[in-house]
Amino acid sequence: MLVRKKESASVLREDAHGGSGGRRLYATERDMACSAFSAMTYGFLPAGAAFDWHKHEGIEEIMLVLKGRGTVEDREGKYGYAEGDLFIYPAGVEHRIENTGDVEDEFVFIRVRV
């Protein structure tokens, strides 16, 4: 059966990572038959803000940059991001995302259990 979610504008925006940015939760494990799927969110990060150091235990996170420029960082290095870039954070790896531009950045995050 096809599941249709509400239009994106009607999905409520909530704080993410202590209020440093925001997100809209598009799908959770309740929406999928796949037991490995955890969540899909649309993330927002204001200019100059950061999703500070965090990790997802038992969850791999895929990040697609839709709008903006900035840096992503893990304990091994710092990397620039731009529109169209894709990053995969392995489960349990601490990472940080910083908007170094002057507009609000936008992302899609997909989380998968390992």
Please state, in angstroms and as integers, the Cα–Cα distance from residue 9 to each residue in 24, 26, 78, following that order: 9, 11, 33
| Max Cα-Cα span within the chain | 43
Residue 36 in any domain: the answer is yes
Residue 100 in any domain: the answer is yes
Please state, in angstroms and as integers, the Cα–Cα distance from residue 80 to each residue in 20, 64, 70, following that order: 19, 13, 6
Whole-number pLDDT of residue 104 = 96
Residue 88 in any domain: the answer is yes
Length of the chain: 114
Residue 85 in any domain: the answer is yes
> What are the pLDDT tens digits along the chain (114 aa)?
444 445 555 556 777 776 678 887 777 777 777 889 998 999 999 999 999 999 999 999 999 999 999 999 999 999 999 999 999 999 999 999 999 999 999 999 999 999
Residue 64's domain is classified under what CATH number?
A: 2.60.120.10
Query: In the chain, how many domains are there?
Result: 1
The residues near 64 (Cβ < 8 Å, ≥ 6 apart) are 84, 85, 86, 107, 108, 109, 110
Residue 2 in any domain: the answer is no
Residue 22 in any domain: the answer is yes
Question: The domain containing residue 66 runs over which residues?
Answer: 10-113
Residue 4 in any domain: the answer is no
Cα–Cα dist 100/57, whole Å: 27
Whole-number pLDDT of residue 56 = 93
